[in-house]
Structure formats: structure tokens, C-alpha cells
Amino acid sequence: MTTITAVDVHDVRFPTSLSADGSDAMNKDGDYSAAYVVLHTDDPSLSGFGFTFTIGRGNDLCVAAAIQRAQPLIGREVEAIVADLGGIYRELQSDSQLRWLGPDKGVIHLALAAVMNAVWDLAARVARKPLWRLLVDMTPEQLVDIADLRYLSDALTRDEALALLRDLEPTKQQRISELDRDGYPCYTTSAGWLGYSDEKLRRLCQEAVDQGYKHIKLKVGANRDDDYRRLSIAREVIGWDADLMIDANQVWDVPEAIEWVNTLAEFKPLWIEEPTSPDDVLGHAAVRKAVAPIGVASGEHGMNRVLFKQMFQAEALDFCQLDSARLGSVNEIVAVYLMAAKFGVPVCPHAGGVGLCELVQHLSIFDYVSVSGSLDGRVTEFVDHLHEHFVEPCIVTDGAYRLPGAPGYSAEMFGSTIDEFSFPNGSYWSAPSAAVAAEDAPSVAEAADAHSVGVA
Amino acid sequence: MTTITAVDVHDVRFPTSLSADGSDAMNKDGDYSAAYVVLHTDDPSLSGFGFTFTIGRGNDLCVAAAIQRAQPLIGREVEAIVADLGGIYRELQSDSQLRWLGPDKGVIHLALAAVMNAVWDLAARVARKPLWRLLVDMTPEQLVDIADLRYLSDALTRDEALALLRDLEPTKQQRISELDRDGYPCYTTSAGWLGYSDEKLRRLCQEAVDQGYKHIKLKVGANRDDDYRRLSIAREVIGWDADLMIDANQVWDVPEAIEWVNTLAEFKPLWIEEPTSPDDVLGHAAVRKAVAPIGVASGEHGMNRVLFKQMFQAEALDFCQLDSARLGSVNEIVAVYLMAAKFGVPVCPHAGGVGLCELVQHLSIFDYVSVSGSLDGRVTEFVDHLHEHFVEPCIVTDGAYRLPGAPGYSAEMFGSTIDEFSFPNGSYWSAPSAAVAAEDAPSVAEAADAHSVGVA
């Protein structure tokens, strides 16, 4: 018998704002951050690692919320938890007092994601399998049991979910072999951040082509002339056989989105991503009708399965970009994959952040093998940032993710990374040069001690 | 010139779970709580008070988030802030790093509500007017400038909003006189909490009738037989001329909601409140079609204006129950009132919580005088709990809110209340009898100091 003895949650922040990595029309100065959860057990060789992703200030709120979310795990048997991964999810999720702060959205849901990602990592390590393998080895009944289907029965019943999974059972091995040979296709956002110069954009587009990418994504939405010029440069470099995607990061109202996107139609974008508020199901549906054949993509801010259900019901999306650290971990993600398969919408997960690539590779593999059985219209994001902080970083070659082989969810960071980038006391942030940034963003620890801030 | 010198945020919790006050099918043991903001100025006679409402655990997260949200106010001139209440809202709201944790939802949005509620209280005190009077004295242009209309232009343009407000300008005084005489009609939820015995339910229904209420609300959704019996008792006591509302607090999937509500149709409820996930616009629309003529009400968990926009566009609501401490204060609330008026949906604000009655009385008065000009189908919640903690409590007689006269937003609590119910160190919570509850809910201060919890 193994017991969870303690939970550490670290506030890890990387100073990405200094290089404009991650810059877009809405998020000009993000510091890629993780509320990083470590589940310790009384077996020194066994821990679980997970995180949620934020862009700086407020990461401390997710850390504090994760501490509360993880509380019920302490003292529990690992064997019992991994034997009922649906049960532990429902238990953590259903704290009714915390639920009031959502439900199922914002800080408390990001914190649930962080904690349950660590639980799933632990479960995969116990099984000595990479997470994707743990999932594809589950029976349809087991998968439907761990999936959070609450509030979804008007779109997908348990029986429909089972039928869908059973259909693909006999041919799973053949798809695993295919991915083992070819990898899972990905695209790169690394070239197109808004804060990059034209020269850097041109160079990075060329590098992406040289590396075998067939899809490239650019940020748009701050200035029309800039968008036109940057898209011209991108098409010059990548030609017209590769796919070009554009991403507005929620800056437009619905009528403005329609008008702006249509002025860029000559560049034949495959999709416009986040044209408006991520909560606006009907708005996305209206944009989609008005900009076709340009597709509509959204989901990195898709707060929960109920939002995605409506996106599918309203035919609002051509591409579903669920986020592995915003949805309530595998339990909620599997539910979204099942709905997407029923409604015929390809899932192309969001991965622009720290560690998200490491997580989504497992999910995309699982989707192809067990749920959708298709690669049509599917391409998973890859951003070439910050992988050096992970013990088992994702491997991308020739525009494809290679199958991860190590046990777990690939979520473990190096101890040296935690020591350096913990906020505000890690060696990076406590250095004098980081003092201004640290002052901008008071930690909860400081704030909660005082419960007060002032000029005096 | 007056300056904001400091901000205090208090974690105030009341042990309402001990008496089952506030109990319903989803929330069995809430401790009504407030993340309570005090804006101090260098004028000792001038402060601003505001809060958001939660039901216990996680209130500390809202406190910590409110500290971050309020940071930019410190050192600022009060005169400049109250002269541009739209500007300060947009400034606080648009912190792009915090925005990632929403946007506009969950803990960071509750915290924005708490801080901006205090700013509006301050503005009304500076003007020496109750908040409702500050609002009804604004010109249409001023109101549209403070309203957050972002993402709404496909449903309501600025010009439409102006036209709507201008229509009612000439007749405002007549409606003020009417409310001054009759008050604003309210209903009571105090009778119908799920944890009350049949005898207590019967007695409280009779008391409500005796006090002049013409609407009574009961919680349902935990058990069908119980619902049937409790509704029978209520109808026996209140008769068939009074209105009976029922509230399921989100416990059902859509098909289950439709079936369950229709089995209670013989009691002729005026509305079914929160039949399913509060995020489910299309689900509410489906329920509404299927249970008519029973109306559908929702909104206490309505996370932001974009959700309400869609509720109106999809014809999902008969009654809009916006929440004064969940939406981003007056700036976002005015936007929802304007949309509701355009779409012809009556707004009946949620007030089941601590201090919410004190806030919503101002909003309902403003709505009647300046926005909707109608009392048809409008009735505002009143719950007779915890008013003794407020310096200027709302006054309800003969089933109606009386016009508040004191300057401000009626949000100030007594210092003695803060001393007693601050969590975990107030005199109530630090008493030995409260130790178990306190242990259940570690504060952020404890959690953030350690960033770790464990059995050892």
C-alpha cells in the first residue's frame, strides 16, 4: 500500500515578456507561468506531477486554489485513487463551497486541472505507461466511467459514447503503429508572435518550412496594415501549398471580426482563431457563417465541457482547440473529445504555453487511436519554448510529435528549474535585475499576510 | 484633492451552515461570506465599501485576488476616479495577465466586482447620494460611457442604448415618486430553504403571507416526493392568487430538468430557476420551450455580460436574475440591464446571500426609473438574513423595498462584525467551538506561507 503524504505547489514563472515570446493582440507581455503540483508518496521513487498554465500575475491565486483542491488527497491510498480516477475527480470537483466561485471555471477550475493532471501523471507512473498508453489501453466502459458527462446528456448520452469507442476498438493497434512510424502532425506558432519584427518573422517562417512544417500560424488583430504586410511576407516565404492560420486572441466584437477577417481572405487562411470573446457561442457561430470558407477555431479559453457542448450544438467551430490545463484534466477532456467525435469536429489542441506541448501530445495520440480514428483536419500546436525545463520533453521532428515512451504525463520539471524560477524567491526573480517585475506582481503570500496594501 | 491611501480586504464568514439557512439541492452547507473591500482615503470621513459574496471556502482566494485588483487604486485621486468611472473600470479589468485566468469570470471577476463595488460606493458618497440616485441623475451619455459594452455590439449598439435611455428621460421623476410611495416589490426566499422541516416551511410561508408577500420561492431538485409534498404545503398556505417560484440550483441535465419540472406543473410555478448548468444558454432555451407556460429564470451564476447577451439572443430566459457581486459591478450590470430592456426580459436580481439585498435595491430602483420603465413581471429577491451586520440595512415593508436615503451603495458593515466574523482569526472563528470548521478550510495565508500541505 502506498500513501499520498504531502502536496507541494510551486509558483513557477518564466520571464518570457522580455523577448516578446507569446505576444499577441490581447496579451502583450505575458510571463509564461505554471502552478506546479507535486504529489508526494511514501514510496520515494513515486510522485505525481501536474500543472496549470497562466501568463504571470494571478499564478499565485492558482497555487493557493490548488492547495485547497489537493487537500482531500492527503493520507489517501494511491492504489484506491488510481483504481477509481472518475471517483476522485468527482470528489475534488464537487466541493460545493468552492463550486460557488465557478462553477467549473476560472481559478478554481484551473486549480482542479493542475491537481488532476498530477493525479493522472501518478496513475500513469503506477501503471508504468505513458499517459496516452494508459488511456488507449482502457476499455470503452472504463473511459466512459472516468469522463465527466454531467450536463451533456442532451448532446451525448453514455450509450452513444460507448458505441463510438467500441467502433474503434478492433483497429487501435493499427493506428498506434502508424503513429509510431509517422508521428502526430503539428504546426508551429513560434514564427508568428505579434511582437516580432518583419525580419524575424521572415526568418522564422523560412526555418519552419525548412523543418518540415506544413502549417504556420500568425497573430493578427492589432493593426490592419501590419496584418496585411505580415501575411504577405508569410505567404511569400511558405507559398500557397502550406496552410496559414491566423489568431486574433479575442480582440474583436462580432461584426468587427467578420469585417476584418474578410479583408484578409485573399491570403486564404485555413482558420481564424479566437475572433471574439471565448464565451460567445452564438458569436462564433455568426462569424463562422460570415467568413466561410475560412474556418473558425477556438477553445484555449474554453472554460469547460458545457461551453464546448454548445459550440458543437450551434455549429460554431471548424476546429476545437481544447486546453489541457484549463479543462478539468483528462476527465473533462475525454468528454469533449467524445462530443467532438460525435459532431464531426476535429480537435487541434492549444499548446501555446509552458508545458502544454508535453501534455497535448498524449491527448492527440489518444484521440486518433481511440476516439476519432482520423487525422483529417487535425494538426496539434507546437511552440518551441521552454522545453528544456522538462525531464521528458516532447520530441518533434519533420513537423510531427513522436510517441512519448516514458511513464507519466510528461509533466515533470527539473528541480533546478523550480529553484531558479519560483516566484518571487527563486534565484532568477530575487536577482536585482528582476526587482521591477517582481514589484509589479505582489505574491499572495505577501498580500495575505497583510490583507492590506497602501502607500504609507 | 483627496487620495486613496490604502485598501483593506477582509475575509468575513458567517456560520450559516449551522442553521441550514441557504441550503439547497446543490449547496448543502454554505457559510455565507464576503470578501469585503475598504478603500481608505486621506479624508478620515470618506471611505468606500464593497464586497463580493461567496459561500465559504475559497473566500480567501477572492480576498487575495481583490488585493491584486485594487493595487492600481492606491495613490490615485478620488476626484479623478469618480469623474471617469468607466475609465477606472476598464483599467482594472484589462490587466492582461489576470485576464488569462478568466477572462471576466470566476475568482478574478468576483474580485473585480468587490473592488468596483467599493469604488461605486465611494463615488456615491462623494456625490452625497444613494447609489440609485447617482445613477438616475446621470445623463444617457454618461450611463453609456460607464457601461461595459465590449463584445455586445451584435446585440446592442451604443446608439440603441442611448435611444432607449433618452426615451425614459422625461418621465423619470414620476417613477421616482411612485417608488417613494409604494417601494419596489420583492419576494422572499427565506421560507423555502431545502434543509428546513415541513413544520418550519409551513410556519414561514404563513409568516410571509402575513407580511404582505405575494411571491414565495421554494428550493427543489433533491427528491421528487419531497418536492411534491413541500409544494403542496406551500400552495395550501399561500393559496392560488400568490405566485410560487421553484429553484433547482443547477442539479439537472437538460432532459431531466424538462421531465422533473413538468411533473410539478400542477402547482403552477411562475418560474423554474437554474434548471441546469448556468453556462448552458442553449440548454436553458430548450428547457424554456419544453416547460412553458412555466417560466425559466437564471443569472445568479451568470458569469458575465457575454453570457447574458446570448441568453437574450437565444430567448432562453423569462426572468434575468443578474448578481450584483458576480458581474463586474455597476459597469457591467448597466450593460445587462440595457440588453434586457431591448430584448424585453424583466430583470429580477438575485439577492440570496449576505449583503446582496442591500446592493440590489439600488439596481432595481435604477432599472425602473431609467432603463425599463416597467414593473411588469419584476420582483426582486429578499432574504431576511444577516442585515444586522450592515450600517444602513435595506428596509422592507409590505413586500417592498423602501428607497434607501443614505449616501453610498449600502455596503458598509459594522466594525464589530468584521472583528467577530473575520476568518480565521475573528472572535467567532477562533473560539474553541468553531475549531472544526476552521480546520476544514485552511486560509490562503496559511497555505501560501507553506505552499505545502501534508500528513507529517
Please, what are the domains in chain A? Answer: 4-129+414-450 (3.30.390.10), 161-401 (3.20.20.120)
Question: Distance between CA atoms of B31 and B236, rounded to whole angstroms?
Answer: 32
In this predicted model, what pLDDT tens digit does every residue of B154-174 receive, in sequence order?
999 999 999 999 999 999 999
Residues paired with B40 in a beta bridge: B6, B47
**With an 8 Å Cβ cutoff, are B105 and A442 in contact?**
no
Cα distances (Å, whole numbers) of residue B182 to B137, B175, B307, B393, B399: 21, 10, 33, 18, 10
Question: Which grid cell is A209?
Answer: 518550412
Residue type present at position B21: D
Cell numbers given for A27: 496579451
Of B54, B103, B154, the CB nearest to A254: B154
Residue B11 sits at the chain A interface (C-beta within 8 Å): yes
* B126 burial via Cβ count (<10 Å: 0-12, 13-18, 19+): buried
Q: Is B424 on the interface with A (CB under 8 A)?
A: no
CB atoms within 10 A of CB B45: 6
Tell me if A230 sits within 8 A of A202, measured CB to CB: no
Per-residue model confidence (pLDDT) at position A21: 74
Peptide bond into B103 cis (omega under 30): yes
Mean pLDDT of B406-423: 98
Alpha helices in B44-197 (DSSP H): 59-70, 78-83, 85-93, 96-99, 106-126, 131-136, 140-146, 158-168, 172-182
The segment with the largest mean pLDDT, out of A135-139, A396-400, A432-436, B26-30, is A135-139
Contact of A316 with A284, CB cutoff 8 Å: yes
Give yes or no for residue A450 having a pLDDT over 50. no
**Does residue B118 carry a pLDDT above 60?**
yes
Q: Helical H runs in A183-328? A: 198-210, 224-238, 254-263, 281-291, 305-313
H-helix or E-strand spanning residue B70 = helix B59-70
Q: What is the pLDDT of residue B446?
A: 38
- Cα–Cα dist B131/B134, whole Å: 5
For A250, the grid coordinates are 479575442
Phi and psi dihedrals of A40, rounded to 5? -95, 145
Query: Does the beta-carbon distance from B26 to A99 stay under 8 Å?
Result: yes
Alpha-carbon dihedral A384, A389, A393, A396, rounded to 10 degrees: 10
**Cross-chain residue pair B58–A108, CB shorter than 8 Å:** yes
Which chain B residues are closer than 8 Å to A76 by Cβ? Answer: none
pLDDT at B22 over 80: no
Using pLDDT thresholds of 50, 70 and 90, give the confidence band for residue B452: low
In this structure, what C-alpha cell is assigned to residue B123? 463615488
Per-residue pLDDT at B456 exceeds 70:
no
Q: What pLDDT, on the 0 to 100 scale, is given for residue A222?
A: 93
pTM of the model: 0.95
Chain B: give the shortest CA distance to residue A197, in Å. 22
Is residue A435 pLDDT above 70, yes or no?
no
A436 touches chain B (CB under 8 A): no
Task: Kindly state the average pLDDT of the residues A309-327.
Answer: 98
Question: A45 CB contacts (<8 Å, ≥6 apart)?
Answer: none
Centre a 10 Å sphere on the Cβ of residue B35 and count the other Cβ atoms it contains: 30
Is residue B24's pLDDT more than 90? Answer: no
The pLDDT tens digits for A421-434 are: 999 999 999 997 76
pLDDT for A46-99, tens place per residue? 999 999 999 999 999 999 999 999 999 999 999 999 999 999 999 999 999 999
Catalytic residue among B10, B215, B309, B350: B350
Q: What is the pLDDT of residue A456?
A: 35
* pLDDT higher than 70, residue A197: yes
Residue A97 CB partners (closer than 8 Å, separation 6+): B27, B29, B30, B31, B54, B55, B56, B57, B58, B441
pLDDT at B445: 36
The x, y and z cell numbers of residue B364, run together, are 432595481
Q: What is the DSSP letter of B235?
A: H
pLDDT band, very low/low/confident/very high, at B261 (cuts 50, 70, 90): very high
Mean pLDDT of chain B: 93
**By the CB < 8 Å criterion, does A21 face chain B?**
no
Q: How many residues does chain A have?
A: 456
Phi and psi at residue A264, to the nearest 5°: -105, 10
Is A76 an interface residue toward B (CB < 8 Å)?
no
Residue-level pLDDT at A434? 65
Element (H, E) at A299: none
Q: How far is B211 from chain A (nearest CA, A)?
A: 31
In residues, how long is chain B? 456
Looking at residue B32, its amino acid is: Y
Q: What is the pLDDT, as a whole number, of residue B237?
A: 95
Rg (CA), chain A: 21
Report the complex ipTM: 0.94
What is the rounded distance in angstroms from the CA atom of residue B314 to the CA atom of residue A206? 46
Confidence of residue B434 (pLDDT cuts 50, 70, 90): low
- Distance CA(B176)–CA(A204), nearest Å, equals 64
* Cell numbers given for A123: 496513475
| Whether the predicted pLDDT of B251 surpasses 60 | yes
Q: pLDDT band for position B420 (50/70/90)? A: very high
> Quick check: B57 and A97 CB within 8 A?
yes
User: For residues B199 and A391, what is the distance between their CA atoms, to the nearest angstrom?
Assistant: 63
Q: What is the mean pLDDT of residues B203-211?
A: 92
For the stretch B337-350, pLDDT in tens is 999 999 999 999 99
Is B219 labeled as catalytic in the residue annotation? yes
Interface test with B, best of A24, A37, A100 (most B CBs within 10 A): A100
**Is B315 in contact with B345 (CB distance < 8 Å)?**
no
Cell 431538485, located at residue: B221
- CB of B300 within 8 Å of any CB in chain A? no
Q: Which residues contact A36 (CB under 8 A, 6 or more apart)?
A: A9, A10, A11, A12, A49, A50, A51, A114, A413, A418
A93: its cell numbers = 470537483
Q: How far apart are CA B439 and CA B453, in angstroms?
A: 13
Band of pLDDT at residue A454, cut at 50, 70 and 90: low
**Residue B453: predicted pLDDT:** 53
Residue A449: pLDDT over 90: no
Report which listed range, A199-208, A268-277, B446-455, is most confident.
A268-277
What is the predicted pLDDT for the residue at A439? 45
Q: How far apart are CA A92 and CA A108, in angstroms?
A: 11
Bridge partners for A401 per DSSP: A184, A396
Q: How far does Cα A265 stand from its chain's mean position?
A: 28
Q: Look up residue B216 and give its DSSP letter.
A: E
Rounded CA-CA distance A25/A194 in Å is: 7
- Predicted pLDDT of residue B442: 41
